[in-house]
Amino acid sequence: MTEAVIRRAHAADAETLAALGARTFVETFGHLYPREDLQAYLAEAYSLERTRRDLADAAKASWLVEVGGEAIGYALAGPCSLPHEEVTPRCGELKRIYFLKTAQGGGLGARLFAQVIAWLQADGPRDVWIGVWSENHGAQKFYARHGFEKVGGYGFPVGRTVDSELILRRRAETFAAISPQLVFDEQTSA
């Protein structure tokens, strides 16, 4: 079997990231929304222009997980934009982490998650926040195992549909043992 590679995404990866983002969102959540709502959300959240802006933003980082040159998963992190009164400019957020359905369950998610957390902690410990759908119990269990706690909620719009999202946080002081070594690896075999 070909070994998986986790690497930072660059401007040249914009089309791959936009397409993979839309595909994984539809695979994961597409059945929940009316067609018009889903299409409106995808056009905004996963457009090529939006993806290029995210990749060009020095405060954000994206990663791709590839097997045999095919992108099967990705993540996006940056400054926290969740609506919570305790969010400060120093806070980081895991904004997205998704895999194709066929690539889930093999441990790559945990490896990608570790890479993202190491990047978020590179300049010293800081609070990390995550928004997660209230019905995504598997993700909630994963984040709880990694020290995140529910601290709030909000309405997440997908077109005209508004989902109930949970806001999770892991405090800065719990990250003291994170190794910054992962941050500097351009490419990590998984």
Average pLDDT over residues 153-175: 94
pLDDT of 186 strictly over 50: no
The pLDDT tens digits for 114-140 are 999 999 999 889 999 999 999 999 899
Q: For residue 18, what pLDDT is reported?
A: 97
CATH number, domain of 64, equals 3.40.630.30
The pLDDT tens digits for 83-99 are 999 999 999 999 999 99
| Cβ contact 151:140 at 8 Å | no
Structural domain containing residue 161: 4-189
Q: How far apart are CA 21 and CA 45, in angstroms?
A: 9
Average pLDDT over residues 21-34: 93
Per-residue confidence band for 1, with pLDDT thresholds at 50, 70 and 90? low
- What's the mean pLDDT when you consider all of the chain? 90
pLDDT of 182 strictly over 50: no
pLDDT of 24 strictly over 90: yes
| Cβ contact 187:5 at 8 Å | yes
In terms of Cβ atoms closer than 10 Å to its own Cβ (0-12, 13-18, 19+), residue 119 is buried
Per-residue confidence band for 187, with pLDDT thresholds at 50, 70 and 90? very low
Per-residue confidence band for 54, with pLDDT thresholds at 50, 70 and 90? very high
Average pLDDT over residues 65-69: 91
More confident residue, 50 or 183: 50
Segment holding 137, helix H or strand E = helix 137-145
- CB within 8 Å of 55: residues ≥ 6 apart: 9, 10, 11, 13, 14, 17, 62
How many structural domains are present in the chain?
Answer: 1
SS3 183: helix
Per-residue confidence band for 177, with pLDDT thresholds at 50, 70 and 90? low
| Cβ contact 46:22 at 8 Å | yes
Q: For residue 168, what pLDDT is reported?
A: 98
Q: For residue 188, what pLDDT is reported?
A: 42
Q: How far apart are CA 27 and CA 24, in angstroms?
A: 5
Task: Look at 58-62, 108-112, 128-132, 178-182 and tell me which has the smallest mean pLDDT.
Answer: 178-182
Query: What is the number of alpha carbons within 13 Å of residue 117 lying toward its C-beta?
Result: 24
Average pLDDT over residues 11-39: 94
* Side chain identity, residue 170: R
| Cβ contact 66:5 at 8 Å | yes
